[in-house]
């Protein structure tokens, strides 16, 4: 039986989200990471709009608009301004080399699909088949966080992990309550601004954004 057009589009968008997560995992340049995060937000916004259209969940239209405003426009703009002011022009320095990191990422994807399979069978949403991809995106973003030395890529990994969690919520329950979504959006925005100030403090104290300096400070 052929899937409806909207379901096929949702599956394509989920695959794009996973591909972008792998691209972020293999990316070395901070500017490219920010651009990929913006593309990830755009895919998430289009997916949310598609789910709203196909299911009649009107509150998801607002969620799609909020995602477009916050994760495609506002947060990438803030991050671009931060790296310009910090004069961040170096490449990302991963703890593991890229081939090993991607191999670990593939293992995490297989684990996520096997973990999501029994949960997806219990879900009654049209997007339940994308739950494995949502969980894989969360794990890949977490992997990006723990394999980067610099503060900025770790923050981008955290923001990408939140994207994966939002996609998982859309896949299983057609999104979160509006009050929760607004609270999370505000927390992300405020957190990003606070982390921007934190970046400047690290740069002023150590003339670098490498978090190994924080470990040395703790040891002292």
Q: pLDDT higher for 181 or 153?
A: 153
> What pTM did the predictor assign?
0.79
Tokens 């973990």 belong to which residue? 115
Distances from the Cα of 15 to the Cα of 18, 44, 95, 121, 133, angstroms: 5, 11, 27, 19, 7
Quote the distance between the C-alpha of residue 58 and its chain's center.
24
Q: List, for residues 134-172, the tens digit of each pLDDT value.
A: 889 889 988 888 888 777 787 888 888 888 888 877 766
pLDDT number for residue 43 = 92
pLDDT number for residue 204 = 52
Mean pLDDT estimate for the chain? 76
Instruction: Calculate mean pLDDT across residues 80-95.
Output: 71
Q: List, for residues 38-47, the tens digit of each pLDDT value.
A: 999 999 889 8
Band of pLDDT at residue 188, cut at 50, 70 and 90: low
For the stretch 123-157, what's the b/e string if a residue is b when 16 or more beta carbons lie within 10 angstroms of its beta carbon?
eebbbbbbbbbbbbbbbbbbbbbebbebbbbbbbb
Tokens 């709009």 belong to which residue? 49
Quote the distance between the C-alpha of residue 204 and its chain's center.
28
Is the pLDDT at 118 greater than 70? The verdict is yes
| CB-CB contact of 90 with 203 (8 Å) | no
SS3 91: strand
Is the pLDDT at 181 greater than 60? The verdict is no
Compute the chain's Rg from CA coordinates.
Answer: 18
SS3 13: helix
pLDDT number for residue 113 = 86
* Residues paired with residue 94 on neighbouring β-strands, in sequence order: 148
pLDDT number for residue 125 = 59
């Amino acid at each position: 039986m052929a899937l409806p057009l909207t379901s096929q589009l949702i599956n394509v968008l989920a695959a794009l989200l996973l591909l972008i997560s792998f691209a972020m995992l293999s990316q070395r340049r901070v500017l490219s990471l920010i651009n990929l995060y913006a593309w990830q937000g755009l895919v998430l916004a289009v997916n949310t709009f598609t789910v709203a259209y196909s299911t009649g969940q009107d509150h998801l239209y607002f969620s799609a608009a909020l995602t477009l405003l916050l994760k495609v426009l506002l947060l990438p703009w803030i991050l671009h301004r931060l790296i310009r002011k910090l004069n961040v022009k170096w490449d990302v320095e991963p703890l593991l080399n890229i081939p090993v990191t991607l191999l670990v990422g593939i293992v995490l994807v297989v684990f996520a699909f096997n973990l999501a399979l029994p949960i997806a069978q219990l879900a009654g949403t049209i997007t339940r088949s994308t739950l494995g991809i949502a969980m894989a995106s969360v794990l890949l973003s977490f992997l990006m966080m723990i394999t980067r030395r610099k503060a900025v890529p770790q923050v981008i990994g955290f923001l990408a992990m939140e994207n994966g969690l939002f996609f998982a919520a859309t896949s299983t329950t057609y999104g979160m309550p509006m009050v929760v979504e607004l609270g999370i959006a505000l927390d992300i925005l405020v957190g990003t601004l606070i982390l921007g100030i934190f970046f400047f403090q690290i740069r002023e104290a150590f003339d670098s954004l490498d978090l190994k300096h924080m470990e040395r400070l703790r040891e002292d």
